[in-house]
């Protein structure tokens, strides 16, 4: 076990997984798996599999799965075909370059996500016009 984590801390860590079955319209069940439930980890060639005493869970591994299962839980919003954001974490956006930022001070090293043009109005509504760097004098 890594030195900087206690066993108690590790037993509280949960990872998002899905149980592939016929429920949820054939999409399976979503759940947070506790690390202390895992008996073994393997792969089916492309996806990590977590074996517990009762079932085999598949790691959520695609953006579509993140959107399907985590979007409602984390209030994620799709802003591009390859990006979901958590609006409460956005500090600024740039409508000219179509990017959202998560840092209080924007620099060349700031992390950002791109925004598709069709989602610009959503971002403007969620974040506010006053946070648009392209409109700042």
Q: Is 60 exceeded by the pLDDT of residue 73? A: yes
pLDDT tens profile 5-15:
777 777 778 89
Residue 100 has pLDDT above 60, yes or no: yes
What torsion do the CA atoms of 116, 117, 123, 125 make, to the nearest 10 degrees? -160
Q: What is the pLDDT of residue 52?
A: 94
Domain spans in the chain, listed from the N-terminal domain onward: 7-65, 75-135
For residue 73, CA distances in Å to 12, 16, 31, 67, 69 come to: 18, 11, 11, 10, 7
| pLDDT for position 131 | 94
Q: Residue 106 class from Cβ within 10 Å (0-12 exposed, 13-18 middle, 19+ buried)?
A: middle
Q: Indicate the pLDDT class of residue 1, thresholds 50, 70 and 90.
A: very low
Whether 37 has a pLDDT exceeding 80, the answer reads: yes
Cα separation, 74 vs 85, in Å, equals 9
Residues in the chain: 137
pLDDT band at residue 48, thresholds of 50, 70 and 90? Answer: very high
Give yes or no for a contact between 20 and 4, defined as CB atoms under 8 angstroms apart.
Answer: no
Phi-psi region of 95 (alpha: psi -120 to 50; beta: other; left: phi over 0): alpha
């Amino acid at each position: 076990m890594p030195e900087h984590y206690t066993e108690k801390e590790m037993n509280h860590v949960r990872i998002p997984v899905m149980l592939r079955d016929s429920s949820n319209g054939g999409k399976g069940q979503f759940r947070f798996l506790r690390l202390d439930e895992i008996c073994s980890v393997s792969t089916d060639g492309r996806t990590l599999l977590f074996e517990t005493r009762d079932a085999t869970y598949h790691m959520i591994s695609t953006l579509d799965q993140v959107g399907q299962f985590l979007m409602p839980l984390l209030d994620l919003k799709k802003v591009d075909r390859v990006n979901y954001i958590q609006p409460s974490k956005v500090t600024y956006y740039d409508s000219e370059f179509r990017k959202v930022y998560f840092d209080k001070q924007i620099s060349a090293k700031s992390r950002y996500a791109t925004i598709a043009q069709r989602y610009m109005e959503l971002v403007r509504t969620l974040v506010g016009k006053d946070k648009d760097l392209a409109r700042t004098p």
